[in-house]
Amino acid sequence: MSLLTQFMSTLTKMSTSRHRRRTSAAAVPPTEGKRARNKDVIRRKIVAAALTLFQTKGFETTTTRAIARKAGIAEGTVFNYFRTKEDIALHFFELEVDRAIATVRDTPRLRKAPLDEQLFALVESQLDYLASHERFIGAAFLEALKPTSALGVFNHRAQALRLRYIAFVQELFEASAPKKRSHALDWIGPQAFWVFYLGVLLFWLQDTSPRKANTIALLDRSLSIGASLFGQVRR
């Protein structure tokens, strides 16, 4: 009887062990890291295809169907990532701002640089990111002037992007204030800088000088003068 009990106990343990292994295997989901990488690859393909078409065919005439065809995926897949082509454009501009902010934040030399140098690096990084898409940027700028446009100032996502950009510029203004004293310019300055950036962008779009040298010179002189004036007012 003892041998029978031991035998039955062994069978039970083996059965339980196999059940646990099957349950464990069934419970393990696909690797989240791999899934995220695959989604990122598809998103990048969509954005790259869209930017190519925006630049070569024009923003107005480009359709999501054409973007899907260019990316080699189904149109429905595009909609899984972006609802409209305007959403793709906004994603591109979000990447532009992310890159520009990271340039200033992640460069040790710039973290301790004067305000005008930080702002110069910020805008220069933006223009460098946009350089290969000049035709599209011009079209997007005009599109953003339409009150009902998804790229316009009344779109909540576009507003959030603008506010994030201004908030970072405000950080730079406040950090450059003498003895960390607060001043009205620490709020007005970033707002004015946003308008200034749009002016520089318009100038850049019309600039035919080699390597946009006139834009860089304008940016450099303007920021030097502006920083000097702000410094005097703050005293």
Q: State yes or no: pLDDT of 1 exceeds 80.
A: no
- The predicted structure's pLDDT at residue 33: 85
Residues 160 and 116 in one domain: yes
Instruction: Specify the pTM.
Output: 0.82
pLDDT digits (tens, 9 = 90+) for 63-93: 999 999 999 999 999 999 999 999 999 999 9
Residues 50 and 139 in one domain: no
Residues 58 and 96 in one domain: no
Count of positions (residues) in the chain: 235
Residues 76 and 99 in one domain: no
Residues 127 and 193 in one domain: yes
Residues 195 and 165 in one domain: yes
Domain housing 66? 32-82
Phi, psi of 217 (to 5 degrees): -65, -45
Selected residue with higher pLDDT from 144 and 229: 144
Tokens of 38: 């695959």
pLDDT digits (tens, 9 = 90+) for 170-221: 999 888 877 655 666 677 889 999 999 999 999 999 999 999 999 999 999 9
In sequence order, which residues have a C-beta less than 8 Å from that of residue 199 and are 6 or more positions away?
A: none
Q: What is the mean pLDDT of the chain?
A: 87
Dihedral, CA atoms, 156, 159, 164, 170, nearest 10 degrees? -140
pLDDT digits (tens, 9 = 90+) for 102-127: 999 999 999 889 999 999 999 999 99
d(CA 58, CA 52): 9
